[in-house]
Amino acid sequence: MTRTTNDRPTTPRPGGTVVPVLAFAGIVVAVMQTLLVPVIKDLPHLLDTSPANATWVLTSTLLSGAVSTPITGRLGDLYGKRKLLIISLGVMVVGALISAFSSSLVPMVVGRTLQGFAMGAIPLGIGLMRDMLPRERLGSAMALMSSSIGVGGGLALPAAALVAQNSDWHALFYGAAGLGAITIVLTLLFVPESTVRAKGTFDLPGALGLSTGLVLFLLPITKGSDWGWTSPLTLGLFTAAVITLLLWGVMELRLAAPLVDLRTTARPAVLFTNLASIMVGVSFFVVSLVLPQLLQLPTSTGYGLGQSMVMAGLLVAPLGLTMMLTAPIYARLSAKYGPRTTLIIGLMIIGIGYGAGLGLMSAAWQALVISVLLGAGIGLAYSSLPALIVGAVPAEETGAATGLNTLMRSVGTSVSSAVIGMVLANTSTVFGGVAVPTMHGFRLSFLIAAVAVAGGLVLALFLPKPNRASQLRASSEEEANLERADAVLRGFQGRVLDAGGVPVPRARVTLLDRQGRRAGATLSADDGSYALPVPSGGPYVLAAQAHGHAPLASSATHTGAQQAIDVDLSLPGEPVTA
């Protein structure tokens, strides 16, 4: 029998600051997105342009974020997630500084476009967590990272309103640049680079095709109200988007290393999660659009709540704060029932929140109740989405897969913005010479959100149950492999040993194929023995890790007969701890 040698570097053991730093990066990105919400209505005056042109300041960030998210995720899988995270944050800082020195439309749009590239930080952070954290910490960490979008948005609204009321509005961008710079320094100091890499090269034609298709699709969604939903330009762009994305899909299916593995994306666990993500994105943005306007409308309208810009932001802020507080609750629920069940619970709470909101719009404290209730539901739902994706894709595709999932949420918010904007505009009334939304428009918006949540709930019910989805039942598979060890006819077998040949019980032994995909996994028995069947002969990577021991990975070629390989965990290295 031969012992393996440690011929592949392993990801360094993360310190306790990694999760807070990555979550802080997500919060900073969300803050950047919502910076201009308090001054949206003043942008035409501030930039000396028309209202239609001023909307490009928001549209440009949306488009660049949608385009960059799956691309940076794939680049991170190939070349290093930490490296791409720092680059994304650096581009955001440059964009914030450009906007800080701008008082006209074109440079402001350029700056906001660069800021949108930071949206890739969310999937990159989730990918880093998957590569570095033990399973028992991963659920709550991903939940915190995923909910950072809502946390940042909730914190940014009152803070940005306070700055906009008492200082030059350019200070918003100086603050964003400063936060971005701090995040880069913290990432360099406390976040190690992951050594997990995908095989292949970057699919440049696929990136260009996806970018073109997304721009052609999202552009008419965000500008349809200005151009007219039945105008030749709007309809032409939608048609071009469908054709472009179809051609892109055909091309991706023919590539060995595509930008997005559509076969993996078509798995029920991935497909229905991404579709449900669109609905969750719709539900998140509706409350963000409706409540601030309702709170700030004057009481003389008969239904407005007469709050200041800052107070309205404070009343909506619990939406994001509650999302952050649900992260540990999600971890416990998910550990016991699985992320599918947690997603269903979250969607049900969102539905209850919007249902209650239809009758709770007559006082400021009622808006606070709605914010807390919806924040809890959205927090659980957002936390479940990356866990479902991560559990259904190989480790080396985490960045691209979670990037696509983040994109689906962005599509949901874009659709929500367009639809709710159209609803509020078409149901508005003239008050004091100005068109303002009506209570009928607010209630209709909440009803649309409730319908979207119902659609998301139906999609969640179609997700494979944990006992039927192999990627979501790793622990049970490992135990089953132990029971099947005696029945294995062909594969790798042997013992996991420490210094002096001491057996290592319950060590995790994983088999990876030549594409880096998991081909099997098991736990060593009390005497250190393990057995892994192989699907076919050929080269593999045999990886092992156990608490208190340095992880190890080595190449192993299967010739067709049963092969005995002892795994030596006595080699020096950074120990893996619980």
Q: For 500, left (φ over 0), alpha (ψ -120 to 50), or beta?
A: left
Q: State if pTM tops 0.85.
A: no
Pairing of strands 508-512, 538-545: antiparallel
Tell me if 554 sits within 8 A of 510, measured CB to CB.
Answer: no
Distance between CA atoms of residues 95 and 89, nearest Å: 10
Amino acid 561: pLDDT = 61
The Cβ of residue 283 has, within 10 Å, a number of other Cβ atoms equal to: 30
Amino acid 474: pLDDT = 43
Structure tokens at 324: 């952050």
373 contacts: CB under 8 Å, gap ≥ 6: 349, 352, 353, 356
Say which amino acid occupies 9.
Answer: P
Residue of 514, 510, 260, 274 whose CA lies nearest to 397: 260
Say which amino acid occupies 496.
Answer: V
| Chain mean pLDDT for the chain | 79
Structure tokens at 96: 């914030």
Distance between CA atoms of residues 378 and 323, nearest Å: 7
pLDDT at 15 over 60: no
Amino acid 478: pLDDT = 41
> What are the tens digits of pLDDT across the range 267-302?
888 888 889 988 988 887 788 778 888 888 888 888
Tell me if 465 sits within 8 A of 340, measured CB to CB.
Answer: yes
> What are the tens digits of pLDDT across the range 184-236?
999 999 988 887 777 778 888 888 998 898 888 888 887 877 788 889 999 99
Distance between CA atoms of residues 295 and 313, nearest Å: 9
Domain 18-203+255-471 CATH superfamily: MFS general substrate transporter like domains (1.20.1250.20)
Distance between CA atoms of residues 357 and 339, nearest Å: 26
Structure tokens at 318: 């619990």
Say which amino acid occupies 427.
Answer: T
Amino acid 136: pLDDT = 66
> What are the tens digits of pLDDT across the range 371-403?
889 888 988 888 888 888 877 777 666 666 777
> What are the tens digits of pLDDT across the range 308-332?
877 887 887 787 778 777 767 877 7
Amino acid 418: pLDDT = 75
540 or 10, which is more confident? 540
Q: Would you give the end-to-end CA distance of the chain in angstroms?
A: 31
Tell me if 523 sits within 8 A of 482, measured CB to CB.
Answer: yes
| Biggest distance spanned by C-alpha atoms of the chain | 88
Distance between CA atoms of residues 578 and 573, nearest Å: 16
> What are the tens digits of pLDDT across the range 94-110?
999 999 998 888 999 99
Write the DSSP symbol of residue 109. Answer: H
Q: Do domains 18-203+255-471 and 473-568 have the same CATH topology?
A: no
CATH fold for domain 473-568: Immunoglobulin-like (2.60.40)
Structure tokens at 560: 């067709």
> What are the tens digits of pLDDT across the range 437-496?
888 888 898 999 999 999 999 999 988 876 444 444 444 444 444 344 333 336 788 888
Residue with tokens 């149901």: 427
Triad 52, 61, 322: Cα angle to 5°? 110
Beta bridge partners of 430: 435
- Give the model's confidence band at 63: pLDDT under 50 very low, under 70 low, under 90 confident, else very high: confident
- The full DSSP string for 366-423 is HHHHHHHHHHHHHHHHHHHHHHHHHTTS-GGGHHHHHHHHHHHHHHHHHHHHHHHHHH
Domain spans in the chain, listed from the N-terminal domain onward: 18-203+255-471, 473-568
Tell me if 460 sits within 8 A of 349, measured CB to CB.
Answer: no
> What are the tens digits of pLDDT across the range 129-170?
877 877 667 777 777 777 777 677 667 777 777 777 778 888
> What are the tens digits of pLDDT across the range 517-565?
777 788 888 778 888 887 777 778 788 888 777 777 777 777 666 667 7
- Give the model's confidence band at 114: pLDDT under 50 very low, under 70 low, under 90 confident, else very high: very high
C-alpha Rg value of the chain to the nearest Å: 25
74 or 185, which is more confident? 185
240 contacts: CB under 8 Å, gap ≥ 6: 216
